[in-house]
Structure 1
């Protein structure tokens, strides 16, 4: 994108571009009242922006940009240029409104950054678990997850076992009752769609849910699995030790807390689960 997009622009030019962009973003007929209520904006002032009579202060511009998934170039460039910019792909066709892809949509208290232990049933070997370390981080207001498939799992499937081939990444999105994740290795190899929610009364350390693999269905394998995330925090000896033990594990060799959270049929009893968690932490 040219660096001189905003050169030789007068205030009237800026307000005209911004006005036209707002009209296109709002659609027809524009629901100004609803938007102003959602963003806590003055409706009269917002109408002045639409009617090319003014342009907003920086704090108001930030609210508008975050809402529509754009940036300050909304003042200088036509909307058609902005939505076709790959850096604003989440705003294309307004998907950010439907998928909740606005920056800051997953606050730290809902799903903290740093390291987690991920445990789930193996898709291929239903009587075993897969355990590994994943890293949750934030960039430009969005929340991402990354990790590597266990070497043992890749080897059993006759897949390359180098770090590049084993790496997976994904995006974390806030949903109505939990968190959604779209995760995959490169070129969407062995991708999965995940949903997890915090386990109550566990000091925000455990999230449990389900993973669905993006593959064809076979009689010998499963496309769905229960899963649990345990928060470990910053890099530590515990993170390193857990990473070294990553891979396939027998059902009975997993912690009780993991077996209970990943069980399809056993109901989760908070009191007994807390008791078992205390025993596990002591021993």
Structure 2
């Protein structure tokens, strides 16, 4: 299902909890005709209208990408918002983390690797003759630190058309005694898991971190599963971020910047 179809299906379920469609449209301040288009997955609301809809029903923007589960609808029917409630897949993950980390705190404050946009350099796992560079965002929620990024289309193994959601991966950044560990969870259909270990340092007076990345998947001919990895902080200036974004993709080894190359391709290193 695409975003329009998911949104329309969720909106139909939410509206059914509140009463007649005409009544709900009036309460939202949306014309009946336009509201019907949303329900039929024929149109998508503007950001301000989407925000109004989310606030009205007590949900968040995930109604665009994931079908509401029965337990979530039950919460809404009982008058409780689910904006902060876990989705179906999250229920098991939260249970697992609560069991695995009963008293450890992996989110202690640190200025070594601040929130922001980073350029991530590593050896390409699907092309051994190239490096791979992408942008990754690190940010802090209420307490936990999380990451988010997208692979370029050429990285995905699927020959079918790959959507942005399928190329997305999110993860958690854990602060350990010896550095940082990033666990990245890739979207369906790949559903890979990547682990990255990083040691922070400064490069040209900017935050950076170096380590290695391991992709959990079966061995494939001419593919790597473990590579060196480097994060370089990108300044908040729009021009710097655009410039870094344009560099994303596969980079032949002889075109990798001199300051980056020895950090992601040390000579005579073997894993």
TM-score interval (norm. to shorter): 0.5 to 0.7
Residue of structure 1 in register with 2:232 after alignment: 230
* Counterpart mapping for 1:206-217 below 5 A: 206-217=208-219
Q: Unaligned regions of 5+ residues in structure 1, if any?
A: 1-84, 268-283
Q: Is the 8 A contact 2:206 2:232 kept in 1?
A: no
Higher helix share: 1
Q: Is the 8 A contact 2:112 2:201 kept in 1?
A: no
Residue of structure 2 in register with 1:177 after alignment: 178
Residue of structure 2 in register with 1:163 after alignment: 164
Alpha-carbon distance in structure 2 between the residues aligned to 1:91 and 1:250: 39
* Counterpart mapping for 1:33-112 below 5 A: 86=91, 89=95, 92-93=98-99, 95-98=101-104, 100-101=105-106, 104-105=107-108, 107-112=109-114
Residue of structure 2 in register with 1:251 after alignment: 253
The alpha-carbon deviation at position 204 of structure 1 amounts to 4.7
The more displaced of 180-189 and 190-199 is 180-189
Residue of structure 1 in register with 2:223 after alignment: 221
Alpha-carbon distance in structure 1 between the residues aligned to 2:245 and 2:206: 22
What SS class does the counterpart of residue 241 from structure 1 fall into?
helix
Q: Is the 8 A contact 1:210 1:226 kept in 2?
A: yes
Q: Do residues 193 (structure 1) and 199 (structure 2) align?
A: no
What SS class does the counterpart of residue 113 from structure 2 fall into?
coil
Residue of structure 2 in register with 1:15 after alignment: none
The alpha-carbon deviation at position 263 of structure 1 amounts to 1.4
Alpha-carbon distance in structure 2 between the residues aligned to 1:94 and 1:159: 37
The alpha-carbon deviation at position 222 of structure 1 amounts to 1.3
TM value normalised by structure 1: 0.56
The alpha-carbon deviation at position 159 of structure 1 amounts to 5.2
Query: What is the alpha-carbon root mean square deviation over aligned residues?
Result: 2.6
Q: Unaligned regions of 5+ residues in structure 2, if any?
A: 1-89
Alpha-carbon distance in structure 2 between the residues aligned to 1:165 and 1:173: 24
What SS class does the counterpart of residue 97 from structure 1 fall into?
coil
Alpha carbons of structure 1 residues 179 and 165: separation in structure 2 relative to 1, 3 Å: same
Alpha-carbon distance in structure 2 between the residues aligned to 1:159 and 1:243: 24
TM value normalised by structure 2: 0.59
Q: Is the 8 A contact 1:260 1:266 kept in 2?
A: no
Q: Is the 8 A contact 2:113 2:208 kept in 1?
A: no
